[in-house]
Chains A and B, each alone.
Chain A
Amino acid sequence: MTQTTIPSGDNSLLPSTQMRPVGRLERVVGPDNYRILVGLFKTPASIIGFSLIVFFILIAAFAPVLAPPKATGDPYQIPRDGFSADPKPPGTEWVRNAPPLPFWWKAITGRDEWVHIMGTSAGQYDIYYGMIWGTRTAFRTGLVVTFVTLIIGVVIGSVAAYYGGAVDNIIMRIVDVFLILPGILAALILAAVLTPRIGKSLIPTMTALIAFGWMGYSRIVRGDILSVKERDYILAAHVIGVKNYRILFRHIIPNAIFPTLVLASLAIGDVVLSFAALSFLGIGTEIGYADWGQILSFARNYITSLNTYWYILVFPGMTLVLFVLGWNLLGDALRDVLDPRMRGKI
C-alpha cells in the first residue's frame, strides 16, 4: 500500500483542507439534492409546516380511533343524527344513529354519551366525523392526483425536451392549449362532462384535476432536461451507441428530476385545495361523503345566519386552512432553497 506523499517543506500557508463529514443520505441523493432536503428543515417556518403535515398524517392514520365508524357500511359516509335541516351547536348530545363511543372519550370527559364535538351541519351530518375522515380523503386524492400528474408531466416534458425540434414544438403548443382555460374552470367542465358517465364519486374530479394539472411539471422537466442533455456524459453515452430511450430514462431523467419531485410533493396542498373548491361548488362526491369541501358547501345555504351557525364554517374552514398552510410553509422554504442566488448559503 502506497502512502500519499505530502509535499515537503513548509505548508503552513496553504489552507488546511478539512473534509466535511458526508453522511449516508448525502451520498445517496447527491450534494445538490442533499442541500435541498436540509434546507427544507432549517427555518422555524418550515418546521412548523412540517409539524402541521405530520399532525394531519397522524389524524388520517388514527381516524378509526379518533372517530370510530359504524360497524356496517362505508366509513367514509358521515353518520347523521336525524334529518332535520338546521345545524346543531358543538357539544349537542348524539341522539339517533350514534356510532360507537371512542375509548378515550370517557377517560377525558367522564361522560358516557357521544356528543357532536364540532356540532352538526345542515342535515345533521356530524362535522367532527367529517373532518377526521375527510383528512383521509384529502391525502388519498392529493397523493393520487399528484403522483399521476407528475408521471404524465415528466414523460411528456422529457419527450419534448429530448427529441426537440418539431416534436418539442408540437408538444409545447399542446401544453399552451391546455393552459388557456383557468385550471379550476377547466377541471370543473371536465368533471361535469365525466360525472354522468362515471357517476358521483371521487373519480371524475380526480380525473379532471389530473387532465388539467400536468402542464406545469412538463414545462419544468423540459427546462431541466434541456440543461442536462448538453452534459458530456450524455454525449459519451451517444458515442458508445446507447439507445435513445435508454439515454432518456436511465441517464437524463434520474439526473434532472429531483427538484421536480420535491415541487410535486409540495403540490399536494394545492391539489387538495382545488379538490375542495370543486366539491364546494357541488361537483364530486355524493352528499354526506367525508370530504372537507363538501362539508363547507353546506354553509352556503346558511349565509344569512352564519353568525348563529358559525361552527359550520369555522371548523371545516380552519381545518382546510391549516392543512394548506402546512404545505405552503414547506413550499416557501423550498422556494428559498431552489433559488440559485441562495446557493452556498445553506
Chain B
Amino acid sequence: MVTYIIRRLLLVPVLLFGVTVLIFGMLQFISPVERTALYVRDIPKNDKQIAGIIRKYGFDKPLHIQYWRWLTGTKDPVTGDRNGGILFGDFGYSRTASEPVAQLIKNRFPNTLDLTIWAVGPVILVGIWLGVQAAVHHNGIVDQLARMFSIVGTSFPTFVVGLLLLMLFYATLQWMEPGRLSNDFSREVTSDAFKHYTSLLTFDALLNGRFDIFWDAFKHMLMPILTLSYISWATFLRVTRGSMLETLRMEYVTTARAKGLPERDVIYKHARPNAMLPVVTLAGFSIVNLLGGVVITETVFNYPGIGSAAARAAVNLDVVTTLGFALFNGFILIVSNLAVDVLYGFVDPRVRLS
C-alpha cells in the first residue's frame, strides 16, 4: 500500500508540471504586445512605452525564462516586492470582474463546494439504486424502462434540461428561481450580524440559526442539483447495472443461493458490495468534476460558482481570468484525483498490488 501511494504521489509533480506547461502554452497564442495589455490598466501612450512593458515583464526573453517568471514572478530590486508568480497565488488581475483572479476564485469556490456537497447524494446514490434495481429485475419492465431512460437521458444536453426546468419551475410554476439567494436575504447575508463560519452559505445559515436563509439558499440549489443528477443517473445506472449483472452470475452468488440465503441477503450483502468497485471509481470522478465547477449547469442557472465565472471570463475573452481558473481547476483536479486513487487502493486490493 505504501509503495502504491508513493508511486501515485510521484506522479503529482509530473502532472502539475504538465498542466502549467499546457496553460503557459495556451498563453503563447497571444502576442507580446497583446499580453502587455493584460498587465496594464491605463492605455500606453506610445510604442516606446509598450516596448518598455514588454521588457519589464520579459516577454522578449526565451520561452523557458518566461515560463519560470510566470511561475515564480519577479522581485523588484528596490522594494523586494514580488510581482506576479502563479506559485505564490498571484493569478493576475481580472478585467471582467475588476478584482484579482485569486480573490474571485476565493469568492466563488465556496459556492461550488456547497453545491457539490448537496448534489453528491442525489447524483450518486439514486443512480446506483436505479442500476441495482435494473440488474436485479434483469430484462423485466424495470430494466427495460431503466435502459430506455439511460439512452434517452444521455441524449438531453445539460443546457436543454436546465432550460426546460427553468421553463417549468421558474417561468410557469414559479416555485424556484435561478441565482444563489433571494434579494432580501442577500443583503442580510452581507451584513455584520450574519457570521461567516465556513463561508459555505447553507452551513453558515444553519450555524447562525437562520433556517429561513438556509431554506432559501437550498431552494436555489434544487434546480442545479436536479439537472446534475439527471445527467449523471444515466451513467451510474449503466455502470452499476453492468457490474451488478456480472457479479450476480458469479459462482459465489450461486453458492449463497444454494445454501438457502434469502434473496435479499444474496443481493445486498453478497453481490452488491463487490459490484460497487467500478462504481466507486465513477463516483470519484464525478465528485472531482463537480468540484471543478460545472460550467454549463452553473451558467444556465446563473449560480455564482467557479464554473460560471470561468465561462463568463472566457466569453468575454478575458484570457488572464480564464487561464487562472484553468490553473486552479487543474490543481484541484490533480489533488482530488490523487485522493480518489488512494482511497480506491484501500477499497480494492487488486489495484495496489498491480
Contact between B171 and A191 (Cβ–Cβ < 8 Å)? no
Given contacts A325-B151, A328-B151, contact A317 B323 (CB under 8 A): no
Residue picked from A182, A186, A320, A322, most chain B C-beta under 10 Å: A182
Binary contact readout B320-341 vs A (1 if CB under 8 angstroms, 0 otherwise): 0011011001100110010000
**A281, B167: Cβ atoms closer than 8 Å:** no
Instruction: Identify whether the interface residues of B are mostly helix, strand, loop, or mixed.
Output: helix
- Identity of the chain A residue whose Cβ is nearest the Cβ of B289 in the assembled complex: A182
Question: Which partner residue on chain B sits nearest A310 by CB separation?
Answer: B167
Could you say which of B14, B27, B299, B319 contacts A173, with CB atoms under 8 Å apart? B14
Mask of A166-204 contacts with B, CB within 8 angstroms, 1/0: 000000011011101110111011111111110000000
Provide the residues of chain A in CB contact with B14, threshold 8 Å.
173
Interface set, chain B 33-51, CB cutoff 8 A to A: 34
Subset of 7 A-B contacts with CB under 8 Å: A180-B334, A182-B292, A185-B325, A185-B326, A281-B315, A322-B155, A325-B155
Q: Specify which chain B residues have a CB less than 8 angstroms from the CB of A281 in the assembled complex.
A: 295-296, 299, 311, 314-315
Bits for A309-334, please: 1 = Cβ < 8 Å to B, else 0. 01001000100111011001100100
Chain A 105-133 near chain B by CB (<8 Å), digits 1 or 0: 00000000000000000000000000000
Q: Top 5 A-B pairs ranked by shortest CB distance?
A: A177-B18, A192-B314, A325-B155, A306-B167, A282-B315
Asked if B157 contacts A192 (CB within 8 A), the reply is: no
B151 to chain A, nearest CB (A): 5
A59 at interface by CB-CB < 8 Å: no
What CA separation (Å) do A51 and B244 show in the bound complex? 32
Assuming the A-B contacts A185-B310, A281-B311, are A324 and B157 also in contact, with contact meaning beta carbons closer than 8 angstroms in the complex? Answer: yes
CA distance A300 to B163 in the complex (A): 8
Q: Does B154 contact A (CB under 8 A)?
A: yes
A273 within 8 Å of B by Cβ? yes
Q: Are A174 and B322 in contact (CB under 8 A)?
A: no
Indicate if the CB atoms of A191 and B330 lie closer than 8 Å.
no
Closest beta carbon of chain B to A64's beta carbon, Å: 28
B145 close to chain A: CB less than 8 A: no
Closest B-chain residue to A212, C-beta based?
B22
- Bound together, the chains give a CA A230 to CA B334 distance in angstroms of 34
- Given the interface contacts A177-B15, A196-B317, does A321 sit within 8 Å of B299 by beta carbon? no
List B contacts of A317 (CB < 8 A): 160, 163-164
The docked-state distance in angstroms from the alpha carbon of A180 to that of B336 is 11
Given contacts A176-B18, A296-B163, contact A303 B311 (CB under 8 A): no
- Judge if A304 is at the interface, Cβ distance under 8 Å: yes
A180 touches B163 (CB 8 A): no
Q: Are B160 and A321 in contact (CB under 8 A)?
A: yes
Interface contact B160-A283, CB-CB below 8 Å: no
C-alpha gap A187/B296 in the complex (Å):
13
Contact flags (1/0) for B121-143 with A, using CB distance below 8 Å? 00000000000000000000000
> Inside 8 A of A321's CB, which chain B residues have their CB?
155-157, 160
| Contact in complex: A180, B19 (CB < 8 Å) | yes
Report yes or no: B171 in contact with A307, Cβ–Cβ below 8 A.
yes
Interface size of B by Cβ–Cβ distance < 8 Å? 54
Chain B residues whose C-beta falls within 8 Å of the C-beta of A196 in the assembled complex:
30, 34, 317, 319
Partner of A193, one of B26, B300, B325: B26
- Give the complex CA separation of A191 and B14 in angstroms: 25
Q: Are A185 and B295 in contact (CB under 8 A)?
A: yes
**In the docked arrangement, what's the CA distance between A193 and B315, Å?**
10
**CB-based nearest A residue for B313:** A192
Q: Which of A130-178 contact B (CB under 8 A)?
A: 173-174, 176-178
A328 to B22, CA, bound (A): 32
Q: A303-B166, A313-B164 are in contact. List 5 more A-B contacts (CB 8 A).
A: A45-B151, A177-B18, A182-B329, A185-B307, A281-B299
- Looking at B18, B159, B171, B299, the one whose CB has the most chain A CB atoms below 10 A away is B159
Residues of the A chain whose Cβ atoms lie less than 8 Å from the Cβ of B32:
none
Q: Is A252 an interface residue (CB 8 A)?
A: no
- The answer to whether B305 has its CB under 8 Å from any CB of chain A is no
Of the listed residues B14, B155, B172, B319, the one surrounded by the most CB atoms of chain A closer than 10 A to its CB is B155
**Is A4 an interface residue when CB atoms closer than 8 A count as contact?**
no
Verify if B73 is at the interface (C-beta below 8 Å from A): no
Residues in chain B near residue A190, CB distance under 8 A: 26
Nearest chain A residue, comparing its CB with the CB of B34 = A196
- Specify which chain B residues have a CB less than 8 angstroms from the CB of A299 in the assembled complex: 163
Residue pair A181, B314 in contact (C-beta under 8 Å)? no
Query: What is the CA–CA distance of A325 and B157 in the complex, to the nearest angstrom?
Result: 10
Interface members, chain B 1-36 (any A CB < 8 Å): 11, 14-15, 18-19, 21-22, 26-27, 29-30, 34
Q: Does A262 contact B (CB under 8 A)?
A: no
Residues of A within 8 A of B300 (CB): 300
